[in-house]
């Protein structure tokens, strides 16, 4: 909610649905996060709202999409990831598939792809003057994000069982290793010239090692690398590999990431007025960079009155909606 305002509106009540319809008549974009059919039942489907405002971008962000067997079913990131096929590729050898928290389907396949769809629709509207409906399915979104996996199947990158391939923890040069102080280093030395610098930093003789791409030697090499990384602290390994092209970096915790020199120089993290640290918005635009908000996230309903007034509701209408429990106010108190 950083940098946003909050309006609390009960659209299950007819006056609330009418209020949302009125808001959408002057809006550019509506992001709708429900399962298929919910908005239609409330009389707020795209056919209704686009008739009121033909320029509206109606973005439907859902797990399974607006059609198909699961369109009206509940689900979470792990389910969408599973149905996309991507989850089958995630996890270590001889272990169950493992979902990477809820970042891939929810936020990447869902949020980011929906945002991209909105940008595309807004750009198209500059030519046609018309809005349209966006069907942003997390299953389809994360499947599309995995296009590289599909397109690279014939390159030999994924022809071994899960956890035995180049980028899924099978390779010793694409792995994380524990240091003597209980922290970790991330290694991504894929190209031969980067791999040679990794070997040099580890103090190994390349002439006494098997070929980098000798699959049968990968398990043995992983054990060798692990034993070496365990002999020094994370800071010591950083002093060895920083400034090289060995593709070796520290695995930073949330406690450490904002204070890392690179992130400090890039101003990649910000602290709000509540002393809470979070990432600065990205990407960075040269001519119109974003202006980060340092205020706390809004309380739910904090700006209800303010927003309704901006959209042409008078104070009597707002008072009626409040007395009918259609809208909510939060701190600070509304002045009606």
**With 70 as the cut, is the pLDDT of residue 316 above it?**
yes
Give residue 227's pLDDT.
98
- The model carries a pTM of 0.91
Position 47 in a domain: no
Active site residue 106: yes
Of the listed 76, 181, 242, 256, which one is catalytic? Answer: 76
Q: Which residue has the tokens 């970042």?
A: 103
Residue 329 inside a domain? The answer is: no
Q: For the chain, how many structural domains are there in total?
A: 1
Q: Is residue 168 part of a domain?
A: no
CATH code, 235: 3.30.1540.10
Structure confidence by residue, pLDDT tens digits, 164-180:
999 999 999 999 999 99
In this model, does residue 320 exceed pLDDT 90? Answer: yes
276 is a domain residue:
no
39 pLDDT band (50/70/90 cuts)?
Answer: very high
Report, as an integer, the average pLDDT of 238-263: 97
Question: What contacts 24+ positions apart, CB below 8 Å, involve 167-171?
Answer: 168/89, 168/90, 168/91, 168/92, 169/92, 169/93, 170/93, 170/215, 170/218, 171/218
Return the pLDDT at 332.
56
Residue 326, phi then psi, degrees to nearest 5: -90, -30
List phi, psi (to 5°) of 76: -135, 175
pLDDT per position as a tens digit, 206-218: 999 999 999 999 9
Q: Which of 77, 106, 168, 303 is catalytic?
A: 106
- Give the model's pLDDT for residue 220: 97
What would the pLDDT profile of 289-312 be if each residue is shown by its tens digit? 988 888 888 999 999 999 999 999
pLDDT at 335: 55
- Residue 8 located in a structural domain: no
Q: Looking at the domain assignment, is residue 331 inside a domain?
A: no
Of the pLDDT bands very low, low, confident and very high (cuts 50, 70, 90), residue 280 is: very high
Query: In angstroms, rounded to a whole number, what is the distance separating the alpha carbons of residues 103 and 59?
Result: 20
The pLDDT value recorded for residue 156 is 78
Residue 334 has pLDDT above 70, yes or no: no
Report the relative pairing of strands 8-9 and 248-250 from DSSP bridges: unpaired
Identify the pLDDT of residue 297.
87
What percent of the chain is modeled with pLDDT above 70? Answer: 98
Which residues span the domain enclosing 239? 174-251
288 domain-assigned: no
Residue 272 has pLDDT above 90, yes or no: no
Q: Is 76 a catalytic residue?
A: yes
**CA dihedral sign, ordered 200, 202, 206, 211:** negative
For residue 158, the model assigns a pLDDT of: 85
Handedness of CA 188, 194, 199, 202 (dihedral sign): negative
In a domain, 164, yes or no: no
pLDDT at 333: 57
């Amino acid at each position: 909610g950083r940098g946003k305002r909050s309006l609390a509106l009960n659209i299950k009540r007819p006056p609330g649905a009418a209020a949302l319809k009125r808001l959408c008549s002057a809006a550019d974009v509506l992001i709708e996060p429900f399962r298929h059919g919910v908005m239609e039942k409330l009389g707020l489907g795209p056919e209704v709202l686009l008739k009121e405002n033909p320029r509206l971008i109606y973005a439907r962000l859902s797990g399974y999409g607006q059609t198909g067997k699961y369109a009206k079913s509940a689900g979470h990131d792990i389910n969408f990831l599973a149905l996309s096929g991507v989850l089958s590729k995630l996890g270590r050898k001889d272990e169950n598939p493992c979902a990477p928290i809820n970042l891939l389907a929810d936020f990447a396949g869902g949020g980011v792809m929906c945002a991209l769809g909105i940008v595309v629709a807004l750009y198209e509207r500059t030519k046609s003057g018309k809005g349209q409906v966006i069907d942003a399915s997390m299953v389809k979104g994360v499947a599309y994000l995995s296009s590289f996996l599909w397109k690279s199947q014939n390159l030999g990158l994924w022809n071994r069982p899960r956890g035995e391939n180049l980028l899924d923890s099978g390779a010793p040069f694409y792995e994380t290793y524990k240091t003597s102080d209980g922290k970790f280093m991330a290694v991504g030395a894929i190209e031969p010239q980067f791999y040679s610098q990794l070997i040099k930093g580890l103090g190994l003789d390349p002439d006494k090692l098997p070929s980098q791409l000798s699959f049968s030697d990968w398990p043995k090499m992983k054990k060798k690398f692990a034993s070496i990384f365990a002999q020094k602290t994370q800071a010591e390994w950083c002093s060895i590999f920083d400034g090289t092209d060995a593709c070796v970096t520290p695995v930073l915790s949330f406690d450490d990431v904002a204070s890392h020199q690179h992130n400090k120089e890039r101003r990649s993290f910000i602290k709000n007025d509540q002393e809470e640290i979070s990432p600065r918005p990205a990407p960075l635009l040269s001519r119109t960079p974003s202006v980060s908000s340092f205020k706390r996230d809004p309380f739910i309903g904090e700006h209800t009155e303010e927003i309704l007034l901006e959209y042409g509701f008078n104070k009597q209408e707002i008072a009626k909606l409040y007395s009918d429990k259609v809208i909510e106010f939060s701190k600070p108190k509304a002045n009606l």
